[in-house]
């Protein structure tokens, strides 16, 4: 019985022993798992790459614009419209505004009333000056009457003295009275002159309460309102205005541009130019160089050039951005200034490879590769003389992998 128990226990222990080789898969199965995992990885990478290739690239585009005559310029520059006659109109005296008669955009003539100040004190001073003139004139009439009487008295005393009928003292008294009245007359006449000058000053002070336009033009800013104080000198603190409004003489508008000092030798007074406003890129305005301002900007290495506009138009307003093309004043052979053909596109839209140039034209959701012929550079733009039409859209900075006919997506807002 004991022996049987020992055998039974040994069998049970052997059954409980872990067989470490039972769960180990064969070598062939492990290799199969590795191949399947690698295949799944390659399929996933392929799907990811394929989806990325199917997604169209996002590009920016710009519209090709007709070159126009200005593109045949010898130099291009940018600047702003400025007014040679522009004034912030203020009062000559300090006072409270009682009336403002202007609004922005209003046309005014020279001498037109723009505003009025409180004139109560000025009118009182004028009335006082007039009273002083009246009083001085009345005094003058009195002195003249007294002098006439003194002249007669002196004549009588002189006749009596000649006949030895009066003493010399009587004649001397009559003479002294006459001379005194003559002096009073001269003094009174001077007082009248002073009173009249005071009257003129008081009248000027009253006139200064009325603010008038120094020249004809357009009101571009209204700076004061009734009830505010205005002064020709700023009092600080923001409690006193220094102007009623700003007027611009639209006939004095011109363009000032900054020309790189390295190219200023291409500009001469009287040289024809063609200007384009940033607000109206298709509108070309003829003009000519007025003068080269004889000073350079050291920080920007530029020289200012004044340009007269030969065409007046209400669309031209101060501080508008403008681009100017300086035309060749004396083309070779006496021919007229060259008229450029083709279109202008941003320089970043053109891809060059040696002597050839290409652009990608966006149409119907695709990018079409097109060979073009280039003209001279125009300040950050390229002139395409053939291969591109006005109004077509070109891709800016086309990606290196962009193919002809590839589907692309235009960035929003472009």
Which CATH number does the domain housing residue 102 bear? 2.40.50.100
Question: Which range has the top average pLDDT, 23-37, 85-99, 226-240?
Answer: 85-99
What is the residue-averaged pLDDT of the chain?
A: 83
pLDDT of residue 370: 93
Distances (CA, A) of 247 to 77, 186, 212, 216, 244: 28, 50, 11, 8, 10
Kindly tell me the number of DSSP H helices and DSSP E strands found in the chain. 4, 25
SS3 186: helix
- Claim to verify: residue 163 and residue 306 sit in the same structural domain: no
Specify if 6 maps to a domain: no
Do 222 and 369 sit in the same domain of this protein?
no
Asked if 323 and 356 sit in the same domain, the reply is: no
**DSSP letters of 197-258?**
HHHHHHHHHHHTTEEE-SS-EEEEEE---TT-EE-SS--STT-EES-SEEEE-GGGEEEEEE
Residues 261, 301: one domain?
A: yes
DSSP-assigned beta bridge partners for residue 247? 87, 219
Same domain, 303 and 258: yes
Average pLDDT over residues 95-117: 94
Residues 330-371: tens digit of each pLDDT: 654 444 454 456 788 888 889 988 778 999 999 988 999 999
Q: Name which of 72, 66, 67, 64 is nearest 325 in CA terms.
A: 72
Contact residues for 408 (Cβ-Cβ < 8 A; gap 6+): 56, 57, 58, 59, 362, 365, 366, 367, 395, 402
Do residues 298 and 371 share a domain?
no
Structural domain includes residue 195: yes
Q: Residue 364 is part of a domain; what is its CATH number? A: 2.40.420.20
How many domains, the chain?
Answer: 4
Q: Note whether 257 and 322 are same-domain residues.
A: yes
Q: Same structural domain for residues 268 and 310?
A: yes
Q: Are residues 157 and 201 in the same domain?
A: yes
In a domain, 51, yes or no: no
Residue 43's pLDDT is: 63
Asked whether residue 46 is domain-assigned, the answer is no
Answer with the one of 327, 349, 375 that is the final residue of a domain. Answer: 327
Would 32 be classed as within a structural domain? Answer: no
In tens, the pLDDT along 228-243 reads 999 887 655 555 678 8
Q: Are residues 316 and 360 in the same domain?
A: no
* Residue pair 89/220 in contact by the 8 Å Cβ criterion: no
Reading the block at residue 68, the tokens are 């126009």
Give the percent of the chain with pLDDT over 90: 43
The answer to whether residue 335 is domain-embedded is no
Query: Residue 174 has what pLDDT?
Result: 86
3-state secondary structure of 305: strand
Q: Residue 104's pLDDT band (boundaries 50, 70, 90)?
A: very high
DSSP-derived secondary structure letter, 338: P
Tell me, yes or no, whether 174 lies in a domain: yes
CA–CA gap between residue 394 and residue 411 (Å, rounded): 13
Q: Go through 219-230 and write b for each residue having 16 or more CB atoms within 10 A of its CB, e for each that does not.
A: bbebbbeeeeeb
What are 254-311's pLDDT values in tens digits?
999 999 998 899 899 999 999 999 999 888 899 999 999 998 888 988 999 999 999 8
How many CA atoms within 13 Å lie on the side-chain side of 154? 17
Enclosing domain of residue 233? 87-118+213-248
CATH number of the domain residue 291 falls in: 2.40.30.170
Give the tens place of pLDDT for each residue, 42-82. Answer: 766 555 555 445 578 888 888 877 665 455 567 888 999 99
């Amino acid at each position: 019985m004991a022996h049987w128990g020992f055998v039974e226990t040994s069998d049970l222990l052997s059954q409980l022993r872990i067989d470490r080789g039972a769960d180990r898969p064969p070598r062939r199965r492990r290799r199969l798992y590795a191949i399947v995992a690698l295949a799944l990885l390659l399929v996933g990478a392929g799907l990811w790459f394929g989806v990325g290739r199917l997604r169209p690239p996002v590009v920016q585009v710009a519209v090709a614009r007709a070159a126009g005559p200005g593109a045949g310029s010898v130099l291009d520059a940018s600047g702003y419209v400025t007014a040679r006659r522009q004034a912030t109109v203020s009062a000559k005296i300090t006072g409270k505004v009682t009336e403002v008669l202007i609004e922005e955009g209003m046309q005014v003539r020279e001498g037109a009333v723009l505003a009025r100040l409180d004139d109560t004190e000025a009118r009182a001073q004028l009335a006082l000056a007039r009273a002083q003139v009246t009083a001085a004139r009345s005094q003058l009439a009195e002195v003249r009457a007294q002098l006439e009487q003194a002249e007669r008295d002196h004549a009588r005393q002189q006749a009596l003295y000649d006949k030895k009928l009066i003493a010399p003292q009587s004649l001397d008294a009559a003479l002294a009275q006459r001379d005194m009245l003559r002096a009073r007359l001269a003094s009174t006449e001077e007082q009248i002159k002073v009173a009249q000058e005071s009257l003129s000053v008081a009248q000027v002070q009253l006139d200064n309460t009325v603010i008038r336009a120094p020249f004809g033009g357009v009101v571009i800013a209204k700076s004061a309102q009734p009830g505010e104080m205005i002064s020709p000198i700023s009092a600080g603190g923001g409690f006193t205005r220094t102007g009623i409004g700003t007027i611009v003489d639209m006939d004095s508008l011109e363009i000032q541009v900054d020309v790189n000092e390295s190219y200023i030798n291409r500009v001469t007074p009287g040289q024809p130019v063609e200007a384009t406003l940033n607000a109206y890129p298709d509108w070309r305005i003829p003009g000519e160089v007025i003068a080269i301002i004889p000073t350079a900007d050291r920080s920007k290495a530029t020289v200012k050039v004044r340009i007269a506009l030969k065409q007046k138009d209400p669309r031209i307003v101060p501080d508008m951005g403008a681009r100017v093309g300086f035309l060749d004043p004396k083309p070779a052979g006496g021919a007229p200034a060259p008229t450029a053909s083709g279109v202008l596109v941003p320089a970043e839209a053109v891809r060059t490879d040696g002597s050839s140039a290409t652009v990608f034209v966006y149409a119907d959701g695709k990018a079409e590769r097109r060979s073009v012929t280039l003209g001279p550079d125009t300040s950050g733009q390229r002139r395409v003389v053939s291969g591109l039409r006005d109004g077509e859209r070109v891709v800016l900075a086309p990606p290196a992998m962009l193919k002809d006919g590839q589907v692309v997506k235009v960035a929003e807002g472009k």
